[in-house]
Structure formats: C-alpha cells, structure tokens
C-alpha cells in the first residue's frame, strides 16, 4: 500500500494500539493489497480512554468488558458484582491494554 496512506493511518490510529505493535502494523500495511484499504479505514476501533471512563463508572457491572467485546468476562463481572469489587479495581488498570489488544485482533484479520 501507499506509504503516505499507511503513515496517515498510523498517525490517526496509533493511539488505539500498543506502541510495540506499531512497527509491525506499519510493515504489514505496506505490503498489503490496495483493495483492503477501505475496510481497514472503516474498522470500528475502540478508544482506550473511553473504555477507562466506562470502567471507572460502570466497571462493577462489567459494562467496560461488554463494550470492548469481551462478553463472557463481562457476564462474569456482572454476576459477581464486579468480582467482589476486586476485579473492578484490577480492570481500571487492565482495561486500556485489553482495549488495544482487542483493536489489534480486529486489525489482524486483514493483515494476515
């Protein structure tokens, strides 16, 4: 793909991925076929900051996990009152990483 397009994608969406994945994403995008560009551009990526806010407000009901697509863990948190409150606190620190991980999974379908 066009280097300019790839760099634009990295600049606008870099914050949605772990920093150590950026290099790999750039490399893969450069060799990717041009026809996949519209799909990659319209991927529904989730913002880690938003999920942190949701985690702080609705974490004990598992809403943060539901939003990023971890439905099973979300149900677990909902049923156990946020894992006796402990899981809720752990997720305040884990949710941003989990969101970036989920975004990477979404992108990976197109990269390989």
Among 53, 56, 81, 90, binds other proteins (CB under 8 A): 81
Whole-angstrom CA distances from 68 to 26, 73, 81 are 23, 11, 19
Contact 14, 45 (CB under 8 A): no
88 touching other proteins, by CB under 8 A: yes
Q: Tell whether the torsion through CA atoms of 9, 13, 16 and 22 is positive or negative.
A: positive
83 touching other proteins, by CB under 8 A: yes
Q: What are phi and psi of 43, to 5 degrees?
A: -65, 135
Q: Closest approach of Cβ 104 to other proteins, in Å?
A: 14
Among 18, 26, 28, 76, binds other proteins (CB under 8 A): 76
Which residue ranges make up the site for other proteins (CB under 8 A)? 60-61, 69-73, 75-76, 78-85, 88
């Amino acid at each position: 793909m066009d280097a300019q397009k790839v760099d634009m994608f990295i600049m606008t969406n870099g914050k949605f991925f772990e920093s150590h994945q950026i290099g790999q994403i750039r490399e893969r995008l450069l060799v990717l076929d041009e026809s996949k560009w519209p799909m990659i551009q319209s991927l529904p990526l989730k913002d880690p900051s938003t999920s942190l806010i949701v985690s702080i407000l609705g974490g004990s009901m598992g809403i943060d996990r539901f939003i990023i697509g971890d439905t099973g863990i979300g149900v677990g948190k909902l049923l156990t009152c946020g894992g006796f409150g402990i899981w809720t606190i752990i997720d305040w620190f884990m949710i941003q990483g989990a969101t970036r991980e989920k975004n990477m999974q979404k992108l990976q379908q197109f990269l390989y």
